[in-house]
Amino acid sequence: MFNNKDILKELQDISPALIPLQQLNVFTVPENYFTNFSEIVLLEMIAETPAFLSSEVTNTMEVPAGYFDSLADTILAKIKITHIQSTAEELKELSPALSATGNDNVFTVPSRYFEDLSEIILGQVKPVAKIVEMRSHSSFMRYAVAAVITGIMGLSLFSVLDKKNVETIENTPLTASIINDANKILQTNSFDKVLETVSEDEIIGYLQKNGQDVNAALVAASVDVNELPSADDYIINEDALNDFLKELNIKDYSN
């Protein structure tokens, strides 16, 4: 292996110190090295051992005679004394009230305590609100009420609408109140005064009911026939009549 030049060269590069050692057994010991080896080691160990180890070894695991005979009793006696004392003291520190009770039974109540308890509590508690009982309505009653209300509404509307329709068709009948009013007008000779209180709508309504063309009547009442637009005027201007009415101030401008 060492003869390989490449290996030698590589070894020289890596570790030149190993070159002189080639083919030399480095794992050799002097003669009789292991013969007294243990003694030599022991001697050197003793030489390096601390003083307390180097002294004579004594048996430290010894106990007094009869030690284990009374050990359990001794431990239990000590535990008992320590435990009782500490609990009482601890309880006294934590809760003097509980400590004061001692061994008394505190869970006692006066006789008949629970029998009257609910009444006593209810007597002390004030009522929050008045309790109103819900009356259960039968569905028949509900439908009946709904039917009555609908009927009232329907009849009311019908009466109003029907009345309106009838009035537009029928004429005003000659009633006693009309005749009385007429008598008053005659007696007080207040025809013109009452006429002044009649509104435009009332007059138009009355005239139209009597088949009168209100606009034509107004024109007729307002003008001399000779002043009306001539036939030629209508040919020239188809709004001739409207213009003429405007001039007369009788056309209803409110419309």
- What does the binding site for another protein look like in residue numbers (CB under 8 A)? 145, 149, 153, 156-157, 160, 163-164, 167-168, 171-175, 177-179, 181-186, 191, 194-207, 209-212, 214, 217-218, 220-222, 248-254
Please state the closest distance from residue 137 (CB atom) to another protein, in A: 9
Please identify, using beta-carbon distances, which residue of 21 and 178 lies nearer to another protein: 178
Please identify, using beta-carbon distances, which residue of 30 and 211 lies nearer to another protein: 211
Please state the closest distance from residue 144 (CB atom) to another protein, in A: 13
CA distance 123 to 112: 17
Say which residue the tokens 């509980």 belong to: 98
Please identify, using beta-carbon distances, which residue of 131 and 174 lies nearer to another protein: 174
Please state the closest distance from residue 255 (CB atom) to another protein, in A: 11
Type of residue at 245: L
Residues comprising the chain, all counted: 255
Q: What is the DSSP code string of the chain?
A: -TT-HHHHHHHHHH-GGGSTTTT-------TTTTTSHHHHHHHHHHHHS-HHHHSPP--TT---TTTTTSHHHHHHHHHHHHHHHHHHHHHHHH-HHHHHHTT-------TTHHHHHHHHHHHHSPP-S---PPPPPPHHHHHHHHHHHHHHHHHHHHHHHHHHHHHHHSPPP--HHHHHHHHHHHHHT-HHHHHHHS-HHHHHHHHHHTT--HHHHHHHHHS-GGGSPPHHHHHH-TTHHHHHHHHHT-S-TT-
Please identify, using beta-carbon distances, which residue of 69 and 201 lies nearer to another protein: 201
Please state the closest distance from residue 135 (CB atom) to another protein, in A: 10
Please identify, using beta-carbon distances, which residue of 7 and 203 lies nearer to another protein: 203
Please identify, using beta-carbon distances, which residue of 6 and 170 lies nearer to another protein: 170
Please state the closest distance from residue 200 (CB atom) to another protein, in A: 5
Please state the closest distance from residue 151 (CB atom) to another protein, in A: 12
How far CA 255 is from CA of 7, 23, 211, 252, in Å, comes to 132, 142, 21, 6
Please identify, using beta-carbon distances, which residue of 36 and 159 lies nearer to another protein: 159
Please state the closest distance from residue 180 (CB atom) to another protein, in A: 8
